[in-house]
Amino acid sequence: MLASYALPVEASRGRRYPEPPHPYRDDFQRDRDRIIHARAFRRLENKTQVFTRRLSDHFRTRLTHTIEVAQISRTIAAALHLNESLVETLALAHDIGHPPFGHSGEQALDKAMRPHGLYFDHNLHALRIVESFEQRYASHPGLNLTFEVREGIIKHSHDYSAAEHPELAEYLLDLRPPLEAQLIDHTDEIAYNTADLDDGFEAGLLKLEEVRRGVSLFDRYLRQVEAEFTAASAKLKFNEALKRMLNHLVTDLIDHTKERIRQSGVATVDDVRQLPERLAAFSPATDAGRAEAKQFLYRNLYHSETLRPQKADGEKIVGDLFAYWLEHPEALPASYQKRAVEQGAPRVICDYIAGMTDNYILDQHRRLLKR
């Protein structure tokens, strides 16, 4: 059933520590299950996507966002005859390296690292989680995932230069990732662009007319829905239009990627890897609509006055605690103190904070900084 340009599990470069095959799960299915059973995956439940849990239980968390990305990714993988298990695994792992407090937490951690000549990158952090921080097996450190899953964790959203990242040399940095990994960045964006409109509307921060003026893809489907369902409530019209917008983005990504596959003439996954550009893409018209929706969300939601205090609060908490542990490394858990001697305190404090849930970091802040 797989297309010739898909990545069959038999072609996997395998695991760092060889393991005997499982009787009825293939290696990518096992990797998916390892991600789901990881502690870092469970913590996604308590990490902010856009809205903190303090506002409402209806809004997406990083866990429910991840499940939506997995759903959309599987649909597209099936339509393109790609390896669904690999795509699902990569989707479930794609945000596992995110710190607490969404993007404000990420920015604050990066800012705290810069004076030490270091930085924070959530993809690289995700790799460290699956390679060493998850301790579940007596026989080896980390989750011992297949090469393709580790490669996809690194390369799903952008390429890393081999000159800047010699530590990633094994991940074929001069080659494109397989289509299964290429999809994830786009499905992630389909998921959050639509879900954040939904949550923003539900929160009362975005108005129907404002969304229609700022997002032409949404407006196109709202017009259809208004003509079809004259008596429906504004909320149902909103939901229906948003659902059609999501469907448009998914269908366009499938169709345009299919077309690019055909035009490129790729026959195998190695052909996909050798191309100078990634093949998974929206059509130019839909890509413009996607970018417009994203800009709208930045202007009207992520950078809105309403969310500004939440954002500033998250940045302050991360910054305060980073500075506190830098000054008091003896207050870190014993295992981190030991690693701080080997790897330097900034890196280890960054790892510690990045692993925290929103709840846990708030508790730490209250406990240590008496707030």
Contact 133, 341 (CB under 8 A): no
* 188/252 with CB nearer Mg ion: 188
257, containing H or E segment: helix 234-264
How far does Cα 236 stand from its chain's mean position?
A: 29
Q: Could you say which DSSP state residue 146 is in?
A: B
Whichever of 93 and 112 has its CB closer to Mg ion, that residue is 93
Q: Which is nearer to Mg ion, 64 or 304 (CB)?
A: 64
DSSP state of 209: H
Phi-psi region of 6 (alpha: psi -120 to 50; beta: other; left: phi over 0): beta
Question: Cβ 69 to Mg ion, closest distance in Å?
Answer: 6
- The minimum distance between CB 189 and Mg ion, in angstroms, equals 8
Q: To the nearest whole angstrom, how small is the minimum distance from the Cβ of residue 188 to Mg ion? A: 4
CB of 320 to Mg ion, least distance (A): 26
Tell the smallest beta-carbon distance from residue 113 to Mg ion (Å): 21
Q: Binding residues for Mg ion, per CB under 5 A?
A: 95, 188
> Is the Cβ of residue 253 or residue 321 nearer to Mg ion in the bound state?
253
Q: What is the DSSP string of 296-359?
A: HHIIIIIT-TTTHHHHHHHHHHHHHHHHHHHH-GGGS-HHHHHHHHHH-HHHHHHHHHHH--HH
Q: Which two tokens mark 47?
A: 């990490």
Nearer residue to Mg ion within complex by CB, 88 or 95: 95
CB closer to Mg ion, 31 vs 188 = 188
Closest C-alpha to 70, from 96, 89, 97, 42: 89
Contacts of 172 (CB under 8 A, 6+ apart): 151, 273
CB of 140 to Mg ion, least distance (A): 28
